[in-house]
Amino acid sequence: MEMFVLLSALLCIQTAVSSPISTAAQAQGFLERYGYLHKENESHSTAEVKSAIREFQWLSQLPVTGGLDRVTLEKMRSPRCGVQDAGSHNAWGQRASSIFIGQHLRKKRYTQTGEKWHKRHLTYRIMNWPRNLSPSQVNVAVKTAFQLWSNVSGLIFQELQHGPADIRLAFFEGEHNDGTGNAFDGPGGALAHAFFPFRGEAHFDMSERWTLSSLKGHNLFLVTAHEIGHTLGLVHSPVRHALMSPYYKKMGSNSLLSWDDITAVQQLYGKPAGDSVQHLTGRALRWAMRDWQISQDPKGGSLTPHYCHGFFDAVTMDVNGTVLVFQGHHFWTVSNGRVSDALPLQMRWPQLSSAIEAAASPHSTANSTSLKDGGFGVTQALFWTLDSQ
């Protein structure tokens, strides 16, 4: 009762708010669920409550007032990741300090759990699929989400179809035997949650409307990329445009990973081979995802590009913003909503002798094949092949 009166006194609302979180008791439940208040405490002091609200406002990029005003309550009811925010403030402070103090701090582990993977080659497996996307669409979205992180770090990801994998992705509804407070709450609210190493699991709410476009529903690629960050050991970020910000945002036009996302993953796993960091922009991927979104013709066939009906080996982007998709001995270009026909790799890179596992630009390194190419504004194309391991 004391807690309810205290939170009620902090409400600064002029008119009634119709939302899942509109009362002091609901706000208390939210703050407890996401790690701002300890559930085991039966009562909280005024200082504890105000501190929890201020911490939430800081991480959410809101004015830090310590009061439950309208914008604070609206933020609480916004779609978000179900992982707790506890530890994010300290982790970000250490991460930011390492940039200014020097390289000697970069090897430390700045996560909530103090864990990271102690290998650079990780496997993943998609256990099931949502109702409104096909397996091939989910595969391409998940593959690209993992590629987003491997493009800026020393990690390599490999999909498995069967057997145990380091990271497992699955869709569930409601309670799914996942621990206290992890039951999904239907459309909106918590969209997904994940576990830090070494459990390596990411769970998605089956009841959400998952999409590969930003028109309706929630973009599966963006949410998957965020949850993968947690499976790698990253906590939430207070940077407004960071992928690891706890709240869902539609895809923008700029780089999908902020400086804070890249700093966080590189502190754990280092930079890509040859420091060849590859940025993917929302502007380029939006066009590709419109092609990935399922579209049925009158005969029931799919109108999506051929590479979406199977698995691709790598995806990267040239300096002109053209997305290059590689599958087997062929590649496609995706630019301004147009997808090319399948082209043989040797047409542009005649020295390439086999299918590739990864691609980037523009720097070359050991254990890779670096080939000159002027066809797409790429000064060098960098490939990792099966025989270069």
Q: What digits encode the pLDDT tens for the residues 316-334? A: 877 777 888 877 667 888 8
| Residue 165, domain CATH | 3.40.390.10
Each residue of 325-371: pLDDT tens digit? 877 667 888 877 677 777 777 667 766 655 566 666 554 343 434 34
Q: Do residue 247 and residue 295 come from a single domain?
A: no
Band (pLDDT 50/70/90 cuts) for residue 377 is very low
Q: Do residue 139 and residue 219 come from a single domain?
A: yes
In a domain, residue 168? The reply is yes
Band (pLDDT 50/70/90 cuts) for residue 189 is confident
- For residue 137, give its domain range: 88-273
User: What φ, ψ does residue 35 adopt, rounded to 5°?
Assistant: 90, 10
pTM of the predicted structure, to 2 decimals: 0.72
Q: Are strands 338-339 and 80-81 parallel, antiparallel or unpaired?
A: unpaired
Boundary of a domain, candidates 250, 273, 296: 273
In a domain, residue 83? The reply is no
Strand ranges inside 160-279, DSSP E: 167-172, 190-194, 201-205, 210-211, 218-219
Termini Cα distance of the chain: 64
Residues in the chain: 389
Q: Do residue 114 and residue 229 come from a single domain?
A: yes
Which residues participate in catalysis according to the annotation?
227
CB atoms closer than 10 angstroms to residue 372: 10
Q: Do residue 95 and residue 53 come from a single domain?
A: no
In a domain, residue 312? The reply is yes
Q: Do residue 106 and residue 204 come from a single domain?
A: yes
Boundary of a domain, candidates 249, 273, 297: 273
